[in-house]
Amino acid sequence: MDVSVLIDEVIAREGGYGNHPADRGGPTNFGITQAVARANGFLGDMRALPRSVAVAIYRRLYWEKPGFAFVAEIAPSVAEELFDTAVNMGPGTASGFLQRALNALNRNEADYPDLKVDQSVGGKTLAALGAFLKLRGRSGEKVLLKALEALQGERYLALAESRPANEAFLYGWLANRIG
């Protein structure tokens, strides 16, 4: 799996500069919010954010740091989904979705122990993922993807219900981020 392709797809989907009045992220370019850009050393106008800076941020914060590169070695399609979810909801949320889904799919710990949902992909999460896929195979990977997307979709609906301004984004979230 080439994360560069995933990053290119995210940048194409996110587009260039934007500053939607309903978006709490404020000025954004290539899908990178101003706060994230600032936290990663970019201090200029968001309209001038270099694409190379956005690519580096995506690779470091949304692929390497949360451990999704290790997930890709076991389940590439799951890693791709986690990356996309992380970009839109944060790496901790994506990791927590994986842990919750693995817990719910372990048949009351008959297949592997429950994970602490600490929103961090580490050795125990990777071991549980490996155990799940060893038992369920590639069809299990498809089921796990459905569980991750269900959690993501429910989160989008909850965001729109809790803050009416988010309804401006709900259709796009569901159209572009689920399935």
pLDDT tens profile 55-98? 999 999 999 999 999 999 999 999 999 999 999 899 999 999 99
Whole-prediction pTM: 0.91
**pLDDT given for residue 40 in this prediction:** 96
**pLDDT given for residue 133 in this prediction:** 98
**Is 118 in the same domain as 174?**
yes
Q: Which residues of the chain are modeled with pLDDT < 50?
A: none
**pLDDT given for residue 1 in this prediction:** 76
Q: Tell me, what DSSP letter sits at residue 18? A: B
**Is 168 in the same domain as 112?**
yes
**pLDDT given for residue 35 in this prediction:** 95
Total structural domains within the chain: 2
* Boundary-marking domain end, from 65, 91, 117: 65
Parent domain of 157? 76-178
Q: Is residue 71 part of a domain?
A: no
In what helix (H) or strand (E) does residue 32 lie, and over which residues does it extend?
Answer: strand 32-33
* Boundary-marking domain end, from 15, 44, 65: 65
**Is 53 in the same domain as 81?**
no
The 8 Å CB, 24+ separation contacts for 14-21 are: 14/87, 17/46, 17/47, 17/49, 19/46, 20/168
**Is 120 in the same domain as 170?**
yes
**pLDDT given for residue 149 in this prediction:** 96
Q: Is residue 70 part of a domain?
A: no
